[in-house]
Every structure is written in structure tokens, then in C-alpha cells.
Amino acid sequence: METLLDQADALIKAADPDDGPERPSFDIPESLLPLTMPNGDVLEIRENPSKGRGWCAKQPIPAGTVLFVAKPIAMALDMEYVGPDQNNDEDVDEEFMEEYENQEEQGSTVNELLVLEVLQSIFSNPSIWTEQVSLLYPRDSVDIEASPVWISRDDSIFGQYEALIEQLETVPALQGKSKEISQRLPLIIRYNVLSIETCPELLSHPGPNGHAPLSGVGLYHWPSFFNHDGRPNVSRYAVGDIMWFVTNQDIAGGSELCISYLEHDILCESPQRRNLMLRMDFKEDEGVFLKGGALPGPSAESDGPDAPVVDDDVQNELMGMNTFERLEAIDQLIQQAAGEALPEGEGVDLEGNEDDMEAHGEAWFQCDLQNLRILKAITLEAMGFSDKALSIWEECVRFTETQMPPNDETSIVMRVQAALCSLHLKQETVARQHASVALQRHHLIFGGGVGRFRRRYRQEFLLNLRPADSTTTASGVNGGVSMEEFLWPHVDY
């Protein structure tokens, strides 16, 4: 994994400031090649009457087992998708653009680029269709014929799509299949696409050296047989385009192995909200994923927001303020997010403009509150109030450990900040406890002991969230040793 992380860093470093990085297409390192074929002694695909095919465990599987590692059939980067050019088209109708922007917000438009990429791969190597893509859901011709014909919102993409479909008939192995491919492929992408992100959980992910520009979508073969569950027992993570699937808990033989199609911080929401976000062809209405009892999520008739409010734009807007203003704004938003207050001058944002920060007097998503807590802790630390920040980091830890799947990678990030903050306050015992849980959990999910942990967290340790971070010496006893070296010394694990 370390080699792949180096390659990911190199792509970010060499990225064009306007066009972003090159698309990652990494070779699976030799040491991981045995993990690319699902082990038939341990795993099998079974048919389930209500969910279709899905991966199952043939025998007990311990937590932290890598089920397999996969490379996509094709991928596309979010940054590559530019969408219809509004400036050059005076006839673009407003309703269309509104719908287009909504879709864009939901991150689905890059899927259109993926349709083209997969088609290109099929054209170059027809066995990709016959041996992999054609086996994916949906397979039933009734479902397929009932679906509307796919039309891209982007004329340029649609033109290329039609041309490629026509060219398929010139490939002997695909003759007579172009109609089926044109009907099925967009649906296959729609229902099997996976987001691909490198270290997305890190606070440094969106920053200058973070891996956000490598984010995209991909179509994978074996991973497409994971069904969704609101209590996933499998977690996934990626470096570049290579993706790992690992059990996040001990699994009993015979159980189904499921991932979550939803972001893990949405899983604690009400079924109504989860289904709105899921946008799938099935309803996910199992009980909410909670260890500590149900949160008071919105009821069916609630008119609270139907998507998280504290998105990247809101977070950037807040981080652009000076710390005093920011703290005040965050506190106001926390009240609104908890459904305790209407915003100042209802329906206006922090600068008095109308925007989607309009609150409804209804609770926002739990992840909104979590994101606001994180921003508050960062702000308090920058202001020198690390003692207040520590209790907020600990609240953040609690959220990830009670409202998210077991051993979630986000809980590691929160433990790391709680450890660094405690050490800054010279509370070494507390710091070591958080540090130890973070490392154990990281080792379980990502493997590689302290070496890999420190490699994956390299950018995170450069964040300098608290004054004098880089030179801190714990309680002075470890003169000259950085906080991370003090808490996670390089030892064999």
C-alpha cells in the first residue's frame, strides 16, 4: 500500500493547477496479487430472493480480513467532468440547468463519463462485456426494457456514446450486441458504480496536499456483488483506483457480506432520509444503525432538510472567517442544526444572502452537527482553548463509535485529534489511550502496524491545528520529539 500511496502523492504533486491530476491507473503490487481473486473456500455469491445475488461467507471470517483487492474495469475522476458549457449555449433552459445542478450536487454526473470509459474498454477488449460487465445487475430483460432509454445531459458525451455504440458492431465478438449494450450499460453503471477516494476520512483530505483531486467513480467486477446494508459488516477503502474490501467485525459462517452504499455518517438517520439519499431501486428500511439507542431523527412528515447542509462550501465559508466570527457562526449553526433555533433573518446565510443554509426549525442531519463540532474544536484549538476543544473531540469520537459501523476509519481520525489535543494539554495518560485505540483500529482495517499508520497520516500530522504542534515535547520529558513520534513511536507491531 505504501508504494501506491507514493504513486498517489506523485500524481497530486504533478497535477496541473487547472485540469487536476492525471487519472490514477495503478498496477496491483505483486504482494497483493493473491488477493485479487475472491477465495472460493471462504466466499461465494448466493442468490437472495429479495436482494438478488450477493457475497456470503462460507465459514467464519475474523474482523480485519481483506476479502479481496480490486482494480476497476474503468474509472473517471470527478474533476474530469465539466458538464454542458452554459456560456456557449444561449438556449440552455433554466429548468434544465436547475435539474442539472441538483444532479451535479449529488455527484452523479461524472457517471456519464464513466459510461463512455467502460464502453471504450469493451470496444478495446470485448471479453470485458462477455465475461464481466454483462453478468452484473440488472440482468432481467423485463427490468431493462421497462427502463427509459438513456440520454446524456451532455451533448458531447452523448455524441461520443452513440458513435461508440455504432462502432461496437464492427467488432466481430460484439456483433448483434450493440442494442443490448446500449440499453443495459447505463443501468449497470447506475446500480453498480462505486465512489473512489484516497484517504477521504482525513481532515487533510481537502487541503493543499490532500488526495481530494483523485476522487472519482469506477465500475468494478467482483465488488459489484456486494449488496447494501444499513449495518455493513464490510468496509472499503482505496488508494488511487485500487480498492480493498475488509471485514469490520467478526463474521459468522453463512452470513451475507454487505457494504453500505450510503456514506457511513448518514446511517444513523431516519429510514426516510436514508432512502432519499440512497436513490436506489430498493428501499432500505431496516432499523437505524445505532449502538446507543435511536436518535430523535425526523419523522416521516418532517420538513427538515433532505440532505446534509454543512457541505464543503459551508465549511469553506466558515473557515474563511476569522476565529472569533467563526466560533460565533458555528455556535449559531449548531443550534439550528439541533433544531433549536431558526437562523438569523430566516432563510439567509451568514452574509445575508439567500442560500441553502436556510434552516427549517427542524433538526439537520447528525453529520451536520458532527462537522460543526469538528470545525468548532479546530477553531477553539487555534484560539488556544485546547481544554474546551478536547471535550468536543471526545464528543466527536463518541459519535463515530456509537452512530457509525464498527472500527470506522473516521473514528481513527477523531481518536488521533483527541490524542494530540490531550498531549498538548499534557494529559499523557489520556493521550496514550486515544493513541493506542487509534493505532489498533488502523492496524485492524488497513494493516501494516505503526509504519503504515504514520504513512497514511503523514499529511494529517502536518496540519498544525494547535500552536507549537511540530515542536511539542509532551511534558518536556521527550525533548525534541514530535507529538506523533511520542505517541506512535516506530516499533515493530
Residues facing 484 on adjacent strands: none
Our finding on whether 271 is near ligand SAM (CB under 6 A) is no
CB closer to ligand SAM, 23 vs 228: 228
Q: Please, are residues 152 and 109 in contact by the beta-carbon 8 Å criterion?
A: no
When asked if residue 53 is in the footprint of ligand SAM (CB under 6 A), the reply is: yes
289 binds ligand SAM (CB under 6 A): no
192 part of the interface to ligand SAM, by CB under 6 A: yes
Cα distance between residue 104 and residue 98, in whole Å:
10
At 150, list the grid cell: 438513456
Among 92, 282, 332, 449, binds ligand SAM (CB under 6 A): 282
Q: How many residues does the chain have?
A: 493
Binders of ligand SAM among 193-232, rule CB under 6 A?
Answer: 224-225, 227-229
Nearer to ligand SAM, 272 or 335 (CB): 272
Site for ligand SAM in 229-248 (CB under 6 A): 229
Which of 44, 325 has the CB closer to ligand SAM?
A: 44
**Amino acid letter for position 201:** E
Binding to ligand SAM by CB under 6 A, coded x per residue (else -) over 162-181, reads --------------------
x-or-dash string of contact with ligand SAM, 125-154, rule CB under 6 A: -----------xx-----------------
Q: Applying CB under 6 A, which part among 87-95, 274-282, 312-320, 372-380 lies near ligand SAM?
A: 274-282
For residues 464-478, one letter each, b for 16 or more C-beta atoms within 10 angstroms of the residue's C-beta and e for the rest, the string is ebbeebeebebeeee
Site for ligand SAM in 31-50 (CB under 6 A): 50
Q: Which is nearer to ligand SAM, 147 or 436 (CB)?
A: 147
Q: What is the dihedral of CA 338, 341, 345, 347, to 10 degrees?
A: 40
Residue with cell 514530535: 482
Rounded CA separation 38/70 (Å): 10
List the Cα angle 406/410/415 in 5-degree steps.
95
Q: Which residue is nearest to ligand SAM (CB)?
A: 52
Strand 234-239 and strand 242-247: the pairing is antiparallel
Q: Does 2 participate in binding ligand SAM (rule CB under 6 A)?
A: no
Cβ proximity to ligand SAM, 228 vs 432, nearer residue: 228
**Which string of x and - marks every residue 305-324 that binds ligand SAM (by CB under 6 A)?**
--------------------
| Minimum gap (Å) between residue 1 Cβ and ligand SAM | 25
How many angstroms separate the CA atoms of 344 and 361, rounded? 12
Q: Which member of 54, 107, 339, 447 binds ligand SAM (CB under 6 A)?
A: 54
Residue 44's beta-bridge partner residues? Answer: 56
DSSP code of residue 473:
B
C-alpha span between 237 and 245 (Å, rounded)? 7
CA distances from 127 to 26, 123, 168, 182, 190 (A): 21, 9, 13, 16, 21
Chain residues in the site for ligand SAM (CB under 6 A) = 50-54, 136-137, 191-192, 224-225, 227-229, 280-282, 284
